[in-house]
C-alpha cells in the first residue's frame, strides 16, 4: 500500500480511501517519528506501519474469505435487495488469467481485490500485525539469553544431551513467538535468536571434536614413546651376536658380479660397485702380502664389517658380516661355493657377461644370510619387566593412568 503523487496532489491507497469514506471522512494525519514513520491517524483510529511506512497485512483466511458475487448476477438483478446495504463493495477481477493475483502466506494465487478487502477489514476492526519498538529489544535479549544458556549448559551436559537441550530451547521460543503472534498480533523475530542458538551448539560441538582429536594425538604420541622404549629394551635383551648381511657371487677371472642377496634389501645401494671394490681390495692384499691367488680363504675389515671371501678356480663367494661370526659360517660358505661350482662349472668356464644362468643359485646364497642373537644382559631384564608390569597395570584413558604412564 503506497501513496501516489501527481504534481501537487497526493493519492492515498484504495483501501485507505474506502475506509476513510466509510467512516465519514475523518481527519487523516501521517505521524512521523524522529527517523521513521510511526503510522496514520484516521480520526480516532490509528494504523501502525513500519519505518518506511508499510502496513503488515493480517490475512483472515484463504481466497474467498470475503463474499464474492458475479457482476453478471448484479446486472441481471439476480441478487436480493439490500445485499450491499451499508457495505463496502470492491469491483475487481478474480480470474487467474487476468493476472491480478498475488502470492501470500495463505495462498500462491490470492486475488488483488481481496487483498484490498483484507486491508479495509484490518482498518475497521483495528486488528493489525505490529512490530513495536520493544520487539527489537526483545530480539536482542533473546539472542543474548539463548546464547548464554547454551554456552553454560553445553560444557556440562555434553553434545548429545546438548542437542536435546538446544531443541527444547528452540521449541519454547517458537511457542512464545507463536502465542504472541496469535493472541497479541505482534510479529517477533525468530530467525536471529534461533540462528545464534544453532551456531552456539555447532561451534561448541566442533570445538569439542577438535579437543578430542588433540587428546587422541597426544595419547598416541605418549603410547609411541612408551612402546619405543619397550622395543628398545627388547633389543637390549636380544642383541645380534653376528649377522651375514650380504653375499656376493663373483666371476673369478673377470671380477663381474653374478648374483647378490641381502638380509635387508632397503640398505642395498650398488651391488656391482661393492663387488668391484671387494675384488680390488682382494687384489691389493694379494699384491701387498704376496698371497697366492688360489690359496685358502681370506678375511679383511671394511669399516665395522668383516668380509669373508671363499674362492675356487671359477668363482668367488664374499660375505659381508656384522659382528663376530663362528667358524660354522665359514664352513657354510665353502659348501655353498662347492655346490655352485658343481652346478654351474660349464657356465662359469664359458662366461661372457650374461649372469642369467646363475639366478637358480639364489636360494643357496639366501641360505647363507644367517644371524645369531647374544644372551640377554642381567641389567636389561629388571628394566623390561618393570615396563611390562607398568603397561599391563595402567589403564589407558584415565587422568591418573596418564600420570602413571609418564612415570613409567
Local structure of 102: helix, strand or coil: strand
Band (pLDDT 50/70/90 cuts) for residue 401 is very low
Contact 337, 317 (CB under 8 A): yes
Q: Which residues pair with 384 in a beta bridge?
A: none
Band (pLDDT 50/70/90 cuts) for residue 362 is very high
| The pLDDT of residue 389 is above 70 | no
**pLDDT (tens digit per residue) in 117-133:** 999 999 888 888 888 77
Listed ranges 45-49, 161-165, 362-366; the one with the highest mean pLDDT: 362-366
pLDDT reported for residue 210: 86
Rg, the chain, Cα only: 49
Please tell me the total number of residues recorded for the chain in this structure: 408
Please give the distance of CA 306 from its chain centroid, rounded to a whole number.
54
Q: Which residue has the cell 498480533?
A: 185
10: alpha, beta or left? (left if phi > 0; alpha if psi -120 to 50): beta
Beta carbons within 8 Å of 22's beta carbon, 6+ residues apart: 88, 120, 124
Rounded CA-CA distance 159/349 in Å is 80
pLDDT reported for residue 58: 87
Rounded CA-CA distance 117/51 in Å is 24
| The pLDDT of residue 146 is above 80 | yes
Please give the distance of CA 235 from its chain centroid, rounded to a whole number.
40
| The pLDDT of residue 363 is above 90 | yes
pLDDT reported for residue 290: 44
The full set of domains in the chain, from first to last, is 4-125 (no CATH), 134-217 (no CATH), 241-364 (3.30.450.30)
DSSP state, 326? -
| The pLDDT of residue 403 is above 60 | no
Quickly list DSSP for 6-66. ETTEEE--HHHHHHHHHTT---EEEEE-SSSEEEEEETTEEEE--TTSPPPP---SSTTSS
Contact 139, 193 (CB under 8 A): yes
Least reliable range by pLDDT among 18-22, 77-81, 89-93, 394-398: 394-398
**pLDDT (tens digit per residue) in 304-352:** 788 888 988 889 898 988 888 889 999 999 999 999 999 999 999 888 8
pLDDT reported for residue 277: 63
| The pLDDT of residue 406 is above 60 | no
Q: Which residue has the cell 501527481?
A: 6
Quickly list DSSP for 259-270. EEEES-GGG---
Residue 347: count other Cβ atoms within 10 Å of its Cβ. Answer: 17
Q: Which residues pair with 261 in a beta bridge?
A: 247
Q: 376 — phi, psi (to 5°)?
A: -65, 150
Q: Which of 199, 204, 211, 217 is nearest to 160 (CA)?
A: 204
Band (pLDDT 50/70/90 cuts) for residue 396 is very low
Amino acid at each position: 500500500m503506497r501513496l501516489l503523487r501527481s504534481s501537487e496532489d497526493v493519492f492515498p491507497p484504495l483501501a485507505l480511501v474506502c475506509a476513510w469514506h466509510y467512516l465519514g471522512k475523518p481527519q487523516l494525519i501521517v505521524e512521523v517519528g524522529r527517523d521513521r514513520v510511526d503510522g496514520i491517524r484516521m480520526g480516532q483510529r490509528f494504523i501502525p506501519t513500519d519505518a518506511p511506512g508499510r502496513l503488515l497485512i493480517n490475512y483472515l483466511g484463504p481466497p474467498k474469505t470475503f463474499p464474492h458475487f458475479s457482476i453478471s448476477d448484479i446486472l441481471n438483478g439476480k441478487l436480493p435487495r439490500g445485499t450491499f446495504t451499508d457495505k463496502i463493495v470492491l469491483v475487481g477481477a478474480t480470474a487467474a488469467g487476468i493476472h491480478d493475483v498475488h502470492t501470500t502466506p495463505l495462498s500462491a494465487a490470492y486475488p488483488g481485490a481481496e487483498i484490498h478487502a483484507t486491508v479495509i477489514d484490518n482498518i475497521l476492526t483495528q486488528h493489525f500485525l505490529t512490530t513495536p519498538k520493544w520487539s527489537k529489544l526483545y530480539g536482542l535479549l533473546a539472542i543474548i539469553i539463548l546464547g548464554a544458556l547454551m554456552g553454560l549448559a553445553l560444557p556440562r551436559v555434553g553434545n548429545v544431551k546438548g542437542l536435546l537441550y538446544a531443541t527444547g530451547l528452540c521449541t519454547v521460543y517458537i511457542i512464545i513467538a507463536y502465542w504472541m503472534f496469535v493472541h497479541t498480533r505482534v510479529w517477533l523475530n525468530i530467525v536471529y535468536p534461533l540462528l545464534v542458538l544453532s551456531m552456539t551448539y555447532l561451534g561448541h560441538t566442533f570445538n569439542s571434536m577438535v579437543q578430542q582429536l588433540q587428546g587422541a594425538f597426544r595419547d598416541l604420541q605418549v603410547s609411541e614413546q612408551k612402546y619405543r622404549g619397550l622395543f628398545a629394551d627388547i633389543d637390549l635383551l636380544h642383541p645380534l651376536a653376528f649377522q651375514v648381511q650380504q653375499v656376493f657371487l663373483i666371476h673369478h677371472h673377470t671380477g663381474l658380479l653374478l648374483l647378490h642377496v641381502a638380509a635387508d634389501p632397503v640398505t642395498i645401494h650398488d651391488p656391482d660397485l661393492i663387488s668391484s671394490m671387494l675384488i680390488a681390495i682382494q687384489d691389493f692384499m694379494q699384491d701387498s702380502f704376496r698371497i697366492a691367488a688360489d690359496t685358502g680363504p681370506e678375511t679383511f675389515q671394511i669399516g665395522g664389517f668383516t668380509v669373508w671371501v671363499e674362492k675356487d678356480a671359477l668363482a668367488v663367494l664374499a660375505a659381508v658380516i656384522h659382528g663376530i661370526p663362528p667358524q660354522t659360517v665359514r664352513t657354510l660358505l665353502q659348501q655353498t661355493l662347492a655346490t655352485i661350482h658343481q652346478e654351474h662349472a660349464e657356465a662359469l668356464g664359458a662366461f661372457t657377461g650374461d649372469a642369467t644362468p646363475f639366478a637358480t643359485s639364489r636360494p643357496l646364497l639366501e641360505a647363507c644370510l644367517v644371524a645369531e642373537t647374544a644372551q640377554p644382559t642381567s641389567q636389561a631384564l629388571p628394566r623390561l619387566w618393570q615396563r611390562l608390569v607398568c603397561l599391563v597395570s595402567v589403564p589407558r584413558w584415565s587422568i591418573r593412568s596418564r600420570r602413571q604412564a609418564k612415570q613409567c
